[in-house]
Structure 1
């Protein structure tokens, strides 16, 4: 199961933590894991390439963790888009992806 925790502050997404494995198919053929990886890595690369906002990212040992320190309109749209994609996948593959919102201070 892939666990996604979406961080929310004042009604806006500020980051996410993704961990686990879908186990939809054997390693190398798991389209669910591949799609989640593409969405999250593209988010990190896009923030770095297109935004000046500061953010923290950790991608190691099956964990993806990203938090925006500043949320501009650009970085917000990129983050919102990634989370939208993950939520859409969660609807179609609910037995493989669990998404929870976590309010942060």
Structure 2
């Protein structure tokens, strides 16, 4: 099972996310559920870095991705980052709608 944690601040803005585990929906290399969630999470991380030049804190390992926005981003940059992160969340929810038994989503204030 893939467990996804969306981390929000007190104003409901996304400030980070964690993705852990494997879907085990198919054989390694053929698992479209794992591939879908992985590409959504990695693309969001890359977009934050490459499009917005945000120096995000992140860790990537086999079955693990963690990303956190830095504190005190200017509001305009923070709003753009949240647009990217909410787009990722829309994709995750869409994938969960089709393959819910493989994905556990937690959307929480930290």
TM-score, normalised with respect to structure 1: 0.91
Deviations 1:9-32 (A, max 9, x none): 121111110000001101010000
1:101 is matched with which residue: 92, 107, 110? Answer: 107
> Which segments of structure 1 move beyond 2 Å, counting only runs of 4 or more?
none
What is residue 5 of structure 1 aligned with on the other side? Answer: 5
For 2:47 and 2:55, how far apart are their aligned partners in 1?
13
For 2:4 and 2:56, how far apart are their aligned partners in 1?
18
| Superposition deviation, residue 76 in structure 1 | 1.1
Residue 89 (1) aligns with residue 74 (2): no
Q: CA RMSD in A?
A: 1.2
Deviations 1:20-56 (A, max 9, x none): 0001101010000011111111111111111133321
What is residue 43 of structure 1 aligned with on the other side? Answer: 44
What is residue 21 of structure 1 aligned with on the other side? Answer: 22
Q: Is the 8 A contact 1:53 1:72 kept in 2?
A: no
More helix by share: 2
Secondary structure at the aligned position of 2:48 is classed as: helix
Instruction: Give the length in aligned residue pairs.
Output: 104
For 2:13 and 2:80, how far apart are their aligned partners in 1?
13
More strand by share: 1
Q: Show structure 1 runs of 5+ residues with no match.
A: none
